[in-house]
């Protein structure tokens, strides 16, 4: 009991400390000073009167949303004496694996730098700055020669690293025992089984109305949709993040989605946010980074060739180039197992006082990174708002998909959850695919790393991302990946090679997300 109280007080102190540096804090302070002029504020009951004023004027709700937003990314409680690296990742072997993976990425980046004789960063000449500013809204028309650039790594490279992960304290002999995990991921992490997932995703149940399902038996779909839209409008009028998060678990009406996501992520377009975006844009125009070419190359290889997203090419450049300069992203490394890469000013190698984070946001883009932004372009057409939403989505969710950690929403746990679900509930299919050399994870890994972006039809992807936001968890990605295999199980049992299995699962664009999830979770015999 005492431990719980001390944990709570520590959490409150940390959140207060974080909010003190925010824009909201200074706004609240200004409002409190201004309220002293009001006749209803009495000196003898000053504290209570100001609280009441905040409540009536809507500032209390804004504070609640800010606290709720902090809680959603707050690290899992740990021992008060635990060192800072424990907040990043409690397991030493995971930290070591992430550290050596980062060295590999950095080595790849540096060798490309040396091979091409290109500096990591340079100031653009004035003429080049003007040219970039003039074509800022049509960067997609630019065709720079990127043939010599290559992605620093692709998801399949990352998968090989995860396959080789081992816990040195865990006896893992060569002899196959009944308890040996037959999948590719060989680390002992706790993942949920179907009864636990049912409990976790209870709002997805067969008897609950869902957006994304056309044939609800209890209530005609149009009746449920009309009522759901009405409730959604009420949630937005209340401006309550927690209520919006609960509401969106049943899916978001298309017309309300942009506002609901912004409310859940606590994004409001204040003038200073637009100004901050403009500052990042100025940084892009003034300085050229090596990662800019990686971003160009990635957009050209992925989103530009996608039937849904090619029209957003210019938006993607704008958002990702600004993202690479945004030093506020560095704060998420406090709870991310990764650490931002460092570079040194020329001629000062090894001297810490001359070390700088590179890129400035600490995130080196990989093949497919731009697909995290592409679906958001359907919802937000104003660049600074689109940018803020993406940045918040990244520091809450997407970073977990390309860093090695033991977090339940981390990619290692998702891979293990996917393999465990298949092994437990579709053992024949799992064994068959394993025997023909088509380990299921080799096919599904790319879906999960990209959060299914670029694989599902956009309307279905947005329904899936509704649930990620609603449950503040990425576990649903692993459940959907297993559900896809279950859905195509009959065809997969016929295949005799990895290439044939990949062909069966090559096109997911016709799949409906919600029926698949419901059937797998709630209609599977457990």
Q: What is the mean pLDDT of residues 86-109?
A: 89
Highest mean predicted confidence (pLDDT) among 85-99, 170-184, 213-227: 85-99
Residue 347's alpha-carbon distances to 36, 145, 335, 351, 407, in angstroms, are 57, 29, 33, 10, 39
The model's pLDDT over 118-134, given as tens digits with 9 standing for 90+, comes to 888 889 899 988 988 98
327 beta partners: none
Region 149-163: mean pLDDT is 90
Average pLDDT over residues 180-206: 86
426 token code pair: 């579709």
When mean pLDDT is compared across 73-82, 192-201, 276-285, 328-337, the lowest value belongs to 73-82
What does the pLDDT read at residue 178?
39
Position 196 scores a pLDDT of 92
- For residue 24, what pLDDT is reported? 73
Mean pLDDT across 419-446: 93
Residue 526: pLDDT above 60?
no
Helix/strand/coil for 289: strand
CB count in 10 Å sphere of residue 299: 28
Average pLDDT rounded to a whole number, residues 6-31:
71
Please report, for the chain, the start and end positions of each structural domain, with discontinuous segments joined by +: 1-74
Stretch among 55-59, 92-96, 99-103, 378-382 having the lowest mean pLDDT: 55-59
CB atoms within 10 A of CB 25: 15
Check residue 409 and report its DSSP letter: T
Q: Cis check for the bond before 359: say yes or no (omega within 30 of 0).
A: yes
The Cα 359–Cα 69 span in angstroms is 26
Q: Which of 83-92, 137-146, 159-168, 381-390 has the lowest mean pLDDT?
A: 137-146
- For the cut 70, the answer to whether the pLDDT of residue 347 exceeds it is no
Q: Mean pLDDT throughout 173-199? A: 76
Query: How far apart are alpha carbons 385 and 276 in whole angstroms?
Result: 11
Query: Confidence band (pLDDT; 50, 70, 90) for 354?
Result: low
Query: For the residues 65-78, what does the mean pLDDT come to?
Result: 68
Report the alpha-carbon distance of residue 67 to residue 270 in Å, rounded: 18
pLDDT of residue 67: 75
| Burial grade of 280 (CB within 10 A; 0-12, 13-18, 19 or more) | buried
Closest CA to 371 of 290, 442, 305, 464: 305
> What's the pLDDT score for residue 141?
73
Taking 80 as the threshold, does the pLDDT of residue 422 lie above it?
Answer: yes
Decide if pLDDT at 175 tops 60. Answer: no
Residue 177 pLDDT greater than 50, yes or no? no
Nearest Cα residue to 460 out of 452, 449, 468: 452
Q: Which residues contact 138 (CB under 8 A, 6 or more apart)?
A: 314
DSSP 8-state secondary structure symbol assigned to residue 44: T
Alpha carbons 29 and 67: distance in angstroms, whole number? 16
Could you report the per-residue pLDDT of 444-497, keeping only the tens digit for each? 999 999 999 999 999 999 999 999 999 999 999 999 999 999 999 999 999 999
pLDDT bracket for residue 210 (50, 70, 90): confident
Element (H, E) at 357: strand 355-357
Give the pLDDT score at 207.
80
Averaged pLDDT of the chain: 85
* Nearest one of 477, 259, 500 to 380, comparing CA atoms: 259
**Structure confidence by residue, pLDDT tens digits, 25-58:** 777 777 777 766 677 766 666 677 677 776 776 6
pLDDT of residue 179: 44
What average pLDDT does this structure show over 243-267? 92
Give dist(CA 363, CA 189) in Å, integer. Answer: 26
Question: ∠ CA(434), CA(440), CA(442), 5° rounding?
Answer: 110
What number is the average pLDDT over the span 14-30? 72
Q: Which of 28-32, 132-136, 321-325, 413-417 has the lowest mean pLDDT?
A: 28-32
Split at pLDDT 50, 70, 90, the class of 311 is confident
Q: How far is Cα 178 from Cα 176, in angstroms, rounded to an integer?
A: 7
Smallest Cα–Cα separation from 421: which of 291, 318, 517, 295?
517
Which pLDDT belongs to residue 286?
93
Decide which of 353 and 361 is more confident.
Answer: 361
């Amino acid at each position: 009991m005492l431990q719980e109280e001390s944990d709570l007080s520590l959490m409150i102190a940390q959140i207060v400390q974080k909010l003190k540096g925010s824009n909201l804090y200074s706004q609240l302070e200004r409002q409190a000073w201004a309220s002293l002029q009001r006749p209803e504020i009495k000196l003898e009951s000053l504290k209570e009167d100001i609280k009441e004023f905040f409540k009536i004027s809507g500032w209390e709700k804004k504070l609640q949303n800010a606290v709720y937003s902090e809680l959603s990314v707050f690290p899992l409680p740990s021992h008060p004496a635990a060192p800072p690296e424990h907040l990043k990742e409690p397991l030493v072997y995971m930290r070591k694996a992430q550290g050596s993976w980062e060295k590999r990425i950095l080595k790849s980046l540096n060798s490309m730098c040396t091979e091409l004789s290109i500096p990591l960063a340079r100031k653009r000449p004035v003429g080049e700055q003007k040219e970039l500013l003039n074509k800022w809204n049509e960067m997609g028309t630019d065709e720079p020669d990127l043939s010599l650039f290559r992605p620093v790594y692709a998801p399949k490279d990352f998968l090989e690293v995860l396959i080789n992960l081992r816990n040195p304290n865990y006896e893992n002999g060569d002899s196959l025992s009944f308890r040996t995990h037959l999948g590719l991921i060989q680390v002992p992490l706790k993942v949920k089984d179907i009864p636990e997932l049912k409990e976790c995703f209870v709002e997805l149940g067969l008897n609950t109305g869902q957006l994304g399902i056309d044939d609800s038996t209890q209530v005609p779909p149009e009746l449920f949709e009309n009522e759901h839209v009405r409730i959604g409008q009420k949630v937005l009028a209340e401006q309550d993040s927690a209520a919006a998060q609960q509401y969106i678990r049943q899916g978001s009406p298309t017309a309300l989605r942009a506002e609901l996501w912004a409310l859940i992520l606590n994004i409001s377009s204040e003038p200073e946010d637009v100004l901050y975006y403009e500052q990042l844009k100025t940084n892009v125009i003034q300085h050229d980074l090596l990662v800019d070419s990686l971003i160009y190359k990635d957009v050209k290889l992925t989103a530009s060739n996608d039937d849904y997203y090619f029209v957003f090419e210019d938006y993607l450049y704008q958002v990702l180039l600004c993202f690479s300069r945004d030093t506020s992203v560095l704060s998420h490394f406090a709870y991310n197992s990764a650490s931002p890469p460092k570079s040194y000013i020329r001629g000062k190698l090894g001297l810490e006082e001359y070390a700088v984070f590179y890129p400035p946001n600490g995130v080196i883009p990989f093949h497919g990174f731009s697909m995290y932004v592409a679906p958001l372009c359907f919802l937000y057409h104003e660049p600074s708002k689109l940018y803020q939403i993406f940045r918040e989505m990244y520091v809450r969710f997407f970073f977990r998909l390309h860093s090695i950690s033991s977090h339940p929403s981390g990619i290692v746990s998702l891979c293990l959850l996917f393999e465990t679900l298949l092994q437990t509930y579709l053992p024949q299919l799992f064994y068959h695919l394993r025997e023909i050399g088509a380990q299921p994870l080799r096919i599904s890994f790319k879906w999960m790393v990209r959060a299914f972006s670029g694989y599902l039809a956009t309307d279905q992807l947005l329904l899936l991302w509704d649930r990620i936001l609603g449950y503040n968890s990425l576990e649903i990605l692993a459940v959907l990946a297993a559900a896809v295999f279950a859905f195509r199980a009959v065809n997969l049992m016929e295949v005799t090679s990895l290439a044939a299995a990949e062909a069966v699962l090559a096109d997911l664009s016709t799949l409906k997300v919600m029926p698949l999830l419901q059937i797998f979770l709630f209609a599977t015999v457990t």
